[in-house]
Homo-oligomer: A and B are copies of this chain.
Amino acid sequence: MRAVAIVGVGMHPFGKFPDKRLRELAKTAVDAAVADAGCKLEEIEVAYVGNAYEGILNGQESIRAQVVLRHAGLSGIPMMSVENACASGSSAFREAWAAVASGLYDVALALGVEKMFVGDTDRTVQAIATSSDVDRTRGTGFTFTGMYGESLRRYMGKTQTTAEHFAKVTVKNRANAVNNPYSQYRQATSVEDVLNSRTIAGPLTLLMCAPIGDGAAAAIVCTAEKAREFGRKPIWVKASAWVSGLPRKGEDLEAVPSAAERAAKQAYEQAGVGPQDLEVIEVHDAMAPAELTAYEELGLCAKGEGARYLDEGHPYLDGDHPVNPSGGLSAKGHPVGATGLAQIAEIVWQLRGEAAGRQVTGKDGSGPKLGLTQNGGGHIEGDAAAQLVHILAR
């Protein structure tokens, strides 16, 4: 396999854009990634597009990749739409990485894009529920917030974690997002405000949950040779790990390792690093409290120790392992198909030292050298349907 460089990333801000169509969100991200890479649009040889709900919400199914990329000026090249629910963006990134690593193509585009704000929350919530096994969940009142709530209540019962800890994650991530121009929320908040916001599915309150929104993110990956040609300092893909969940039923979920744990383990092995080496991390906090279990699944701390890890300050912007400097899903926003690629973009900016206002300093003060993204998608039999972990380095 060949070394793969990320040479360009770009985003459309996350938020509610009632006047923009999917293709317009996509074009902004693609244009920005191409400009960032210093290449020409025509140099892209293959493209993968991650999107989850455009068919159900806006009626465009089947050829989403071609429709949005034609608007961005791309045609003729091989294109494919890929899906893995909330991990659709990193699934597109994975395929683009493999396309270059394999030797099949020298320059590949990965795009994630989603338009979830359609002015009707019920319709959007129903669309989100299609990321479960609908034959089993339909008519059962299943929602992702309900599922997270149940899982968090169980977690609280087994550990010393309190609702205040969950609120603290939101407070940390909202503070980070203040300085992220792509973020849907850009106001700081307090533990008190988070706990006093409307209960969605106890212990989850409104401010702990990722908002409904629209957005896009893109990355251009290429060979070392092409990176030199484009003149952009490359960020290297050191690991690309991808798994689906194993069935985890009943109370004793830990009898089976989670998909996130298994993906992280694979990624560390591929990159030849461990969790202690990570200097900047983006995790899948669709509900802010999930960040605590992500610390554990990534091996940053022991099982059940997520709250302590937070209390000790490690995952803060000035901690030794900053998590979600972008604001994460709960503060930056979570337009499903775009999320995985927004995580990639954030880590690229951090590794380049371009994350003004939210830049982490790295172990030796010269900026971070090694970063990780963890992106989970969907729910099936007690676990994520897909988990992808990427490790990036400058």
A-to-B contact residues, CB < 8 Å: 1, 21, 23, 52-53, 55-56, 59-67, 70, 75-85, 88, 91, 95, 98-99, 101-104, 127, 130-135, 138, 242-247, 259, 262, 377-381, 385-386
How many copies of this chain?
2
Question: Is A386 a contact partner of B82 (Cβ separation < 8 A)?
Answer: no
A80 and B70 in contact, given A63-B378, A75-B244, A135-B21 (Cβ under 8 angstroms): no
- Central interface residue in A133, A138, A377, by most chain B CB within 10 Å: A133
Q: Chain A interface mostly helix, strand, loop or mixed?
A: mixed
Question: Is B63 a contact partner of A385 (Cβ separation < 8 A)?
Answer: yes
Closest residue on chain B to residue A381 by CB atoms: B70
Cα–Cα distance between A385 and B74 once the two chains are bound (Å): 12
Question: Is B104 a contact partner of A67 (Cβ separation < 8 A)?
Answer: no
Closest residue on chain B to residue A383 by CB atoms: B75
Cα–Cα distance between A64 and B55 once the two chains are bound (Å): 14
**Beyond A59-B130, A63-B379, A81-B83, 8 additional pairs, beta carbon < 8 A:** A60-B133, A61-B131, A62-B83, A62-B84, A66-B380, A67-B133, A70-B133, A76-B244
Question: Is A60 a contact partner of B104 (Cβ separation < 8 A)?
Answer: no
Question: Is B76 a contact partner of A243 (Cβ separation < 8 A)?
Answer: yes
Chain B residues whose CB sits within 8 angstroms of the CB of A104 once the complex forms? 1, 98, 101-102
